[in-house]
Amino acid sequence: MSLSEWRKQKLSSHPLQSLYYFSKINNLSSILKNGILPKNTVTNSVFSSESFAEESVQEKRHRKIIELSNNSEIPLHDLVPLYMTPKTPTLSARRNIQSEIFFVEVSLSVIWDGSKEFAFTDGNAGANETRFFHSLYKLAEIPWNVIAAPYWNEHEDGRRKRCSEFLIYPSIEPSYFKRLVVVNDIARNNCESIAKRAGFKIAIDTVPQFFFT
């Protein structure tokens, strides 16, 4: 069995179908052109990006060094963070701007096809209590019950655990994008116009269930 086949098999034994990244629609053109890039790459480049990240949280993440699946160690902000469920406390804190947000649903092949390195967590990567893993043998450490629950506040430490992340290095090309998801038809129309101007073909769906409506 190849490494790719083994990784795919390990992932299939857990309740994970896709990974999720969300951003402002104003960033869609750049993401369709350049893919999803880590924070340090965006900060140190000429790419235009509109962020709604909380700087106090980002400072905690900035100081962390993470061991990856190839045993190398790099800064957390050199990795692309992906959630395991769309409805997270991070999104909940931005309920007032949900119509300005889109999700990229990312294929699990970004983990198993062997072209990327990765790590994953059992909670928000910025939290002191959160543990980091770099082997798929440790997938059982992810709090799957909290990720799958209708509400995280019914679980102890649910807010942190619901924000468990897969961290991908060095970036995520658009070839891994399964679809875009938005909260309403106005947002979908905006995304469709941007994708058309970019000459990029991708499914764009209105799925209110991804959001807090």
Residue 176 labelled as part of a binding site: no
Out of 61, 160, 162, 188, which one is annotated catalytic?
61
Give catalytic status of residue 7 as yes or no. Answer: no
Inter-residue contact 147 to 164 (CB < 8 Å) = yes
Q: Is 83 among the annotated ligand-binding positions? A: no
Query: Which tokens sit at 43?
Result: 């900060």
Residue with token string 């909670």: 123
The answer on whether 61 is annotated among ligand-binding residues is yes
Residue 164 near residue 129, CB atoms below 8 Å: no
Strand partners, 180: 104, 204
Nearest to 184 by CA among 122, 117, 98: 98
Strand 80-83 relative to strand 165-169, pairing: antiparallel
| Active-site annotation holder among 7, 105, 162, 165 | 165
Q: What is the 3-state secondary structure (H, E, C) of 73-141?
A: EEEHHHCEEEECCCCCHHHHCCHHHHHHEEEEEECCHHHHCCCCEEEEECCCCCCCCCCEECCHHHHHH
Does 95 qualify as catalytic in the annotation? no
| 69 annotated to a ligand binding site | no
- What distance in Å separates the CA atoms of residue 106 and residue 83, rounded to the nearest whole number? 10
| Residue numbering of the annotated binding site | 21-23, 61
Instruction: Return the active site residues.
Output: 61, 165
| Residue numbering of the annotated binding site for NAD(+) | 21-23, 61
